[in-house]
């Protein structure tokens, strides 16, 4: 997957940053979420609320023209310059594009940061580290793909980060 955008945010531990990568999410489509006109005079309020929160036909047309798209946000801890991909967290189905004239990065930050949003992907990464949720087989496989020096550096960084996270 080719990244659309990426940036780093500071982590809670010295030497820790989180790399935020945005990639296209082609699995999500707005078709079933198109707003429909009221079809019955006695429509229950709960249906009206759902209908009003859906995408307009103009929004769907803009999506078809690639004026906006759904993206996945992948957050990976980077400790002392070494990516700890085994602890990454992600969220998919976020709107991204120029259709609504918004600052896309700020919108993603609002969705994924603990300070503003409803999902705390950096916090989820830290929870993965603290709980020991890292799969040893995945860690070993990833380390095996590195040369000896890179493997030693990543293992040392991972161990230091695990200690600092607890």
Question: Which structural domain, as residue segments, surrounds residue 156?
Answer: 3-165
d(CA 146, CA 160): 19
E-assigned strand segments in the chain: 3-10, 16-24, 68-79, 82-83, 89-97
| pLDDT value for 135 | 57
Q: Strand 16-24 to strand 3-10: parallel, antiparallel, or no bridges (unpaired)?
A: antiparallel
Q: How many domains does the chain have?
A: 1
34 in Cβ contact with 53 (< 8 Å) = no
Average pLDDT, the chain: 77
Task: Please write the tens of the pLDDT for every residue from 120-161.
Answer: 888 888 787 776 656 566 666 667 777 888 878 877 887 777
Burial label for 52, CB within 10 Å (0-12, 13-18, 19+), is exposed
Q: In the structure encoding, which two tokens stand for residue 26, read together?
A: 């082609």
- The pTM score is 0.71
């Amino acid at each position: 997957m080719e990244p659309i955008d990426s940036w780093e945010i500071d982590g809670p531990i010295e030497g820790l940053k989180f790399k935020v990568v945005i990639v296209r999410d082609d699995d999500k489509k707005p078709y079933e979420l198109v707003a429909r006109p009221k079809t019955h005079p006695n429509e229950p309020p709960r249906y009206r609320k759902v209908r009003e929160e859906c995408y307009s036909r103009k929004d769907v047309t803009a999506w078809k023209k690639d004026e906006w798209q759904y993206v996945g946000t992948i957050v990976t801890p980077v400790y002392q310059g070494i990516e700890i991909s085994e602890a990454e967290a992600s969220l998919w189905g976020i709107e991204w594009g120029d259709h609504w004239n918004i600052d896309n990065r700020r919108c993603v930050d609002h969705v994924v940061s603990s300070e503003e949003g409803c999902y705390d992907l950096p916090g989820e990464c830290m929870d993965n580290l603290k709980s020991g949720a890292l799969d040893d087989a995945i860690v070993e496989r990833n380390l095996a793909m590195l040369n000896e020096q890179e493997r030693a550096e990543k293992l040392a960084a991972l161990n230091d980060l695990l200690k600092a996270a607890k």
